[in-house]
Amino acid sequence: MKVEFVKAASDAAVVVVFVHEDRALTPAAKAYDKKTKGALARAINAGRFTGAKGQTLALTAPAGLDNPQILAVGLGAKGKAIEDLTLEAAAGAAYRAVATSGFTTLAYETEGLTSDQAARIGFASRLASYRFDKYRTTQKPEAKPSIDAIQVVTDAAPAAKKAYGPLSAVADGVFFTRDLVSEPANVLYPDEFAKRCKALEKLGLQVEVLTEAQMAKLGMRTLLAVGQGSSKESRLVVISWMGGTKTARPVAFVGKGVCFDSGGLSLKPPEGMEDMKWDMGGGGAVAGLMCALAGRKAKANVIGVIGLVENMPDGNAQRPGDVVVSMSGQTVEVLNTDAEGRLVLADALWYTQDRFKPKFMVDLATLTGAMIVALGNDFAGVFSNSDELSDGIMAASAATGERTWRMPLPDDYDRLIDAPTADVKNTSGRAGGSITAALFLQRFVNKTPWAHLDIAPVAWKKDSKVSTVPDGASGFGVRLLDRLVADRFEG
Ligand code: BES
Ligand code: MN
Ligand code: ZN
């Protein structure tokens, strides 16, 4: 969806104006109330619309106006400054309200708002407009999206357009992730994922793709063991963006890219197994993050590493009870082949730390169902050996609305993953399942400040209440970590 910033009052089909709680009209709303000789205020006063956050009220075919519809959208309480996330929620709600209305053009009137806020509105409407329709050959007319142009009307159009530049790059990154995560696993297997990353080189990123033979040489046997039951070859993708000072050590993001997780020989039940096409959500977020950073030419050195496998149960699959030597040299007893994400990350984390000596390292993974049990459907869990890094993630979380909650990594739980016949085992029963998974990862991290984000609860939304995140692939992690990088290196 194209977003334009224009100066003139709009002739769009739908004109959006914002209203604060207690029916307090913003300057733009007042202007349209005047144009309609008080009809907007009368409509607002007639019903339950109060201007609460995200509420909408449509005034259709008002006399005195060529635009077929005015859409009033609530901004909530009139505080000192309108918060970015409030504005995003309202702008996204407006888009949602008319997405399939039959109207084709949508314009936001922003009189009284700053150019940054106008840009923010464009960003939110674009995020809200995401769809993944490539495999539909027909669609019911009433379900077809009708809006095909979005305008933000502002006196400061050039400044707003400039402020929109980096936000638009972040939206591109979010969309890149959403596209990857939405793809079915018969289309998006490890090599295809790697190819789509390779295409990011056009943005100035450097992308390396390691084959199974190269990984075998490096000793990445826990990663390869996960993929050995699949007819698809495993891959490791390394993406780098060197936008900072030449000699500065980078930071690194590492993603779980299990393109399909059948469970392997520890086969999952059929119910809901289709969800496991999005078990590459962590890797997808890393790819989208790198896309965003390059798109907005971030002044930072950043490495993205994605471990790509398919977890399948054929005659060559790893068995429960197998002992595998990881790249770190530690031996792993694989008690459950469905606890595969940690096996992929063990080698990916070790490799990243060893090769790049990053200032800090953050991994993202749809790692455990237990994380959903613990936090519900709207928070990712944060596990970290560094208060500073974890605080930075929580701050980025508050700023972007990608919600996280810190979880414990207790030393005295570590014994729970001591194995019967090897150094470490990959499962330890139901109790604290997300914590023991994180403790497993920690055994493959040395002194590097590290955080693990278990994004199983948030990578895919089934009933999204956030207007900028449509149902389906959320793109969670791109905005959060883009912000973390910006706060650390560009603040
Ligand atoms: N990919 C799953 C975790 C998952 C479950 C993500 C549901 C998103 C939604 C992971 O590989 C897995 O299977 N974990 C097991 C671990 C268990 C075998 C110790 C789980 O959560 O049941
Ligand atoms: Mn699994
Ligand atoms: Zn998995």
C-alpha to C-alpha distance for 323 and 331, rounded to whole angstroms: 7
For 320, other C-beta atoms within 10 Å of its C-beta total 15
3-state secondary structure of 302: strand
2 backbone φψ class: left, alpha, beta (φ>0; ψ -120 to 50):
beta
Summarised one tens digit per residue, pLDDT across range 61-89 is: 999 899 999 999 999 999 878 999 999 99
Which candidate, 4, 62, 3, places its Cα nearest to that of 32? Answer: 62
Query: pLDDT band for position 57 (50/70/90)?
Result: very high
Nearest-10 crossing angle of helices 115-128, 157-182:
20
Q: Which residues pair with 260 in a beta bridge?
A: 310
CA 94–ligand 3 middle distance (angstroms): 36
Is 243 within 8 Å of 301 (Cβ atoms)? yes
The reply to whether ligand 1 has any atom less than 6 angstroms from the CB of 368 is yes
Q: How far is CA 281 from CA 171, 178, 224, 331, in A?
A: 17, 9, 19, 27
Q: What's the rounded mean pLDDT across residues 219-225?
A: 98
The reply to whether ligand 1 has any atom less than 6 angstroms from the CB of 309 is no
Which candidate, 383, 176, 208, places its Cα nearest to that of 306? Answer: 208
pLDDT for the residue numbered 79: 82
Q: Give the distance, in angstroms, between the CA of residue 219 and the centroid of all CA atoms in the same chain.
A: 31
pLDDT for the residue numbered 199: 98
The reply to whether ligand 1 has any atom less than 6 angstroms from the CB of 370 is yes
CA 391–ligand 3 middle distance (angstroms): 27
The secondary element (H helix, E strand) that includes residue 93 is helix 84-98
Summarised one tens digit per residue, pLDDT across range 258-314 is: 999 999 999 999 999 999 999 999 999 999 999 999 999 999 999 999 999 999 999
Contacts of 80 (CB under 8 A, 6+ apart): none
Residue 247, pLDDT > 90, answer: yes
Q: What's the rounded mean pLDDT across residues 30-48?
A: 96
Predicted structure pTM score: 0.98
**357 noted as active-site residue:** no
CA 341–ligand 2 middle distance (angstroms): 6
pLDDT for the residue numbered 491: 83
Say which of 195, 198, 268, 406 is annotated catalytic.
Answer: 268
Summarised one tens digit per residue, pLDDT across range 353-383 is: 999 999 999 999 999 999 999 999 999 999 9
Which candidate, 180, 146, 173, places its Cα nearest to that of 12? Answer: 146
Measured CA angle at 444 (ends 441, 450), to 5 deg: 70
Summarised one tens digit per residue, pLDDT across range 178-215 is: 999 999 999 999 999 999 999 999 999 999 999 999 99
Ligand closest to Cα of 257 equals: 3
Residue 9, pLDDT > 90, answer: no
The reply to whether ligand 1 has any atom less than 6 angstroms from the CB of 339 is yes
The reply to whether ligand 1 has any atom less than 6 angstroms from the CB of 336 is yes
For the chain, what percent of residues have pLDDT higher than 90?
Answer: 97
For the chain, what percent of residues have pLDDT higher than 70?
Answer: 100
**37 noted as active-site residue:** no
The reply to whether ligand 1 has any atom less than 6 angstroms from the CB of 109 is no
pLDDT for the residue numbered 157: 97
Q: Which of 181, 267, 278, 368 to mutate to test the pocket of ligand 1 (most atoms within 8 A of CB)?
A: 368
401 backbone φψ class: left, alpha, beta (φ>0; ψ -120 to 50):
left
C-alpha to C-alpha distance for 286 and 477, rounded to whole angstroms: 8
For ligand 1, atom 13, the nearest C-alpha belongs to 338
Q: How far is CA 231 from CA 142, 234, 334, 396, in A?
A: 41, 9, 21, 40
Q: Which of 338, 372, 424 to mutate to test the pocket of ligand 1 (most atoms within 8 A of CB)?
A: 338
